[in-house]
A and B are shown apart, each in its own frame.
Chain A
């Protein structure tokens, strides 16, 4: 076996350009697939986390304010839209609904502070199950009327570094508040949202130049739903839309998918490209090995004459293919890893600044899978030439070789 390795090594040195071309093809395929696999897994865990942080399985909004509501939910644009609070009761009794709560979305005065785009959302610190669990994790007390919960991205603009933010007093729409806590990033509109006590929200619209008619307590903007165990949010949402036509029910899947679409598109492109590159690498390796074997035909026939068994010739070719594939796979993983490493800021930005990297076990799995793909490519590429040459009679090989 050591002898065979030596022969393979010496032969690889003979045509370094050809060897590097094959390695290059495999590197391209492997790096692309590796990056795609890591990003794809990352998107999955990011969406999972985003859904958990969103806290609701379904967000119900007024059907006629669908566009505004979506832009508020997804990017935190400060808008107002309302529906009668009586609808919450209807939604609560819809099949598959376990729990509901409501929130009210208000526009803030830009001038009130230095942030241009801040949505102001009132929530019920007692009944809410979406942001409240996160708030209660950090503060032991439910939110007071003069306190704010601030989205992850509002904070730097509003009060500086997160460490300094908590407990900080600040004037908001002419009233003094203190920051109770800061939310984790979700990639959704909540990152640009300031949450406050629902009662306070209604109160603030009185006398506000933005709201000539104050918002009354029987007006709400969104109804948040937790579905019963075992119920598919999609089914429950469809049912609500059917039975209450004035409502639009958005599932957490729909919402989170929207903000990951850009990166998901990239990953899809990468997978397709990786597949094509793999095919290309296979064709490249197959052809170059066929060429190499044709050029070495006499030599391989001579090996047989010297007593090399058919299987030894086969091993020589396959081992050479495996060496090239292994080198290509290893380099591919390395390059893929560097691309991810150096591109991580861009990637994170593409997915709402909350991209979750897969854990080490998945990285390891991706490395192994990529290597396996490379080796399979090598074996498949070398297989046909190896079979062909080793099935020839030694005399044929010697005679046909130039």
Chain B
């Protein structure tokens, strides 16, 4: 369960997020959309413990993550969260398999045989089995994104945060990756995804980020004032 309460964030004098309230149930598939520069990445980063909000709280399973010490927050990112980014994010100096195993290493534990088996099965699941020993440069953009998804899953996180994971991919690959996320969600992993691919909006609960506020997608044409004035904006999937 992710609970976001009265979250605000400014960059210098620019208001990016203001008074955002949001709740995401375990196992949900949540999509956030909105115009470029609207603050979607910022929102995802605050929820994922990557950047500190100016005000408000983020509770993950009732833990206020921004009250945690730096090592504890790092451990939370390591164990509970998986990130998939909108740009190629594999480490070029490491093989695909080593890339997938990287979060294990940051958990202060050498990967064991079980981890290795799991990594291999994940690569199979994302559809790039047999690429274990290759280096990122040898993979296509779609294959790299698949490997990044496998890496996000290696610690069996409860939540995967995906920021425009198909933004730079062709339509066919996009469809395949979306299917992949759906099947991951089908196994119980919560997915919070920023995307412009609104064809997929039907997959789950969809929100739009507009004028620093978050609205349910179908309400997005409404005036933001009307909604926020009414009190808390809370959508439980």
Once bound together, how far apart are the Cα atoms of A299 and B90, in whole Å? 8
**CB <8 Å contact, A393 and B50:** yes
Chain A neighbourhood of B70, CB < 8 A: 309-310
Q: A149-173 interface mask toward B, CB cutoff 8 Å, 1 = contact, 0 = none?
A: 0000000000000000000000000
Any B CB within 8 A of the CB of A307: yes
Minimum CB distance partner of A399 in chain B: B41
Chain B neighbourhood of A311, CB < 8 A: 71
Any A CB within 8 A of the CB of B67: no
Q: A286-309 interface mask toward B, CB cutoff 8 Å, 1 = contact, 0 = none?
A: 000000000000110111111111
**CB <8 Å contact, A305 and B110:** no
Q: Choose from B75, B83, B93, B110 the contact partner of A2 (Cβ within 8 Å).
A: B110
Shortest CB distance A396–B (Å):
7
Q: A395-B45, A398-B50 are in contact. Are A307 and B93 (CB under 8 A)?
A: no
Chain B neighbourhood of A7, CB < 8 A: 93-94, 105
Minimum CB distance partner of A310 in chain B: B70
Any A CB within 8 A of the CB of B142: no
Dominant secondary structure at the A interface: helix
**CB <8 Å contact, A10 and B93:** yes
Q: A2-B110, A14-B93, A395-B45 are in contact. Are A307 and B103 (CB under 8 A)?
A: yes
Q: Give the most central of B75, B79, B89: most A CB within 10 Å.
A: B89
Q: Choose from A307, A309, A393, A398 the contact partner of B79 (Cβ within 8 Å).
A: A307
Once bound together, how far apart are the Cα atoms of A4 and B108, in whole Å? 10
Q: Choose from A14, A299, A306 the contact partner of B83 (Cβ within 8 Å).
A: A306
Any B CB within 8 A of the CB of A3: yes
Shortest CB distance A218–B (Å):
89
| Size category of the binding interface on chain B | 20 to 34
Q: A10-B94, A306-B102, A309-B70 are in contact. Are A394 and B50 (CB under 8 A)?
A: yes
Once bound together, how far apart are the Cα atoms of A305 and B157, in whole Å? 13
Once bound together, how far apart are the Cα atoms of A25 and B115, in whole Å? 42
Q: Choose from B52, B93, B103 the contact partner of A393 (Cβ within 8 Å).
A: B52
**CB <8 Å contact, A309 and B71:** yes
**CB <8 Å contact, B85 and A307:** no
Q: Choose from A299, A305, A308, A312 the contact partner of B48 (Cβ within 8 Å).
A: A305
Any B CB within 8 A of the CB of A13: yes
Minimum CB distance partner of B51 in chain A: A395
Q: A14-B92, A302-B91, A305-B77 are in contact. Are A3 and B105 (CB under 8 A)?
A: yes
Chain A neighbourhood of B92, CB < 8 A: 14
Q: Choose from B45, B52, B77, B110 the contact partner of A306 (Cβ within 8 Å).
A: B77
Q: A307-B106, A307-B107, A308-B106 are in contact. Are A398 and B85 (CB under 8 A)?
A: yes
Any B CB within 8 A of the CB of A99: no
**CB <8 Å contact, A305 and B71:** no
Once bound together, how far apart are the Cα atoms of A325 and B139, in whole Å? 35
Minimum CB distance partner of A308 in chain B: B106
Any B CB within 8 A of the CB of A11: yes
Q: Give the most central of A14, A298, A309, A393: most B CB within 10 Å.
A: A309
Chain A neighbourhood of B105, CB < 8 A: 3-4, 6-7
Shortest CB distance A399–B (Å):
8
Q: Choose from A14, A299, A303, A393 the contact partner of B51 (Cβ within 8 Å).
A: A393
Once bound together, how far apart are the Cα atoms of A310 and B70, in whole Å? 7
Q: A393-B52, A394-B50 are in contact. Are A309 and B93 (CB under 8 A)?
A: no
Any A CB within 8 A of the CB of B222: no
Minimum CB distance partner of B157 in chain A: A307
Minimum CB distance partner of A9 in chain B: B93
**CB <8 Å contact, B93 and A303:** no
**CB <8 Å contact, A306 and B106:** yes
Chain A neighbourhood of B212, CB < 8 A: none
Once bound together, how far apart are the Cα atoms of A309 and B49, in whole Å? 12
Q: B96-136 interface mask toward A, CB cutoff 8 Å, 1 = contact, 0 = none?
A: 00000011011100100000000000000000000000000
Chain B neighbourhood of A310, CB < 8 A: 70-71, 74
Any A CB within 8 A of the CB of B144: no
Minimum CB distance partner of A4 in chain B: B105
Q: Choose from A6, A10, A13, A307 the contact partner of B78 (Cβ within 8 Å).
A: A307
Once bound together, how far apart are the Cα atoms of A395 and B103, in whole Å? 17
**CB <8 Å contact, B91 and A299:** yes
Minimum CB distance partner of A3 in chain B: B105
Shortest CB distance B114–A (Å):
17
Chain B neighbourhood of A11, CB < 8 A: 93
Shortest CB distance A65–B (Å):
76
Chain A neighbourhood of B93, CB < 8 A: 7, 10-11, 13-14
Interfacial residues of chain A within 369-402, with CB under 8 A of chain B in the complex = 393-396, 398
Q: Choose from B42, B74, B94 the contact partner of A307 (Cβ within 8 Å).
A: B74
Q: Give the most central of A10, A301, A306: most B CB within 10 Å.
A: A306
**CB <8 Å contact, B103 and A394:** no
Q: B16-34 interface mask toward A, CB cutoff 8 Å, 1 = contact, 0 = none?
A: 0000000000000000000
Q: Choose from A10, A309, A395, A396 the contact partner of B74 (Cβ within 8 Å).
A: A309
Chain B neighbourhood of A395, CB < 8 A: 42, 45, 50-51
Once bound together, how far apart are the Cα atoms of A396 and B46, in whole Å? 12
A-B contact pairs, 22 of them (CB 8 A): A6-B105, A7-B94, A14-B92, A302-B85, A302-B89, A304-B74, A305-B50, A305-B83, A306-B106, A307-B74, A307-B77, A307-B78, A307-B155, A308-B106, A309-B71, A311-B71, A312-B106, A393-B51, A393-B52, A394-B51, A395-B42, A395-B50
Which residues of chain A have a CB within 8 Å of any CB of chain B?
2-4, 6-7, 10-11, 13-14, 298-299, 301-312, 393-396, 398
User: What are the nearest 4 A-B pairs in CB distance?
Assistant: A307-B78, A3-B105, A395-B51, A10-B93
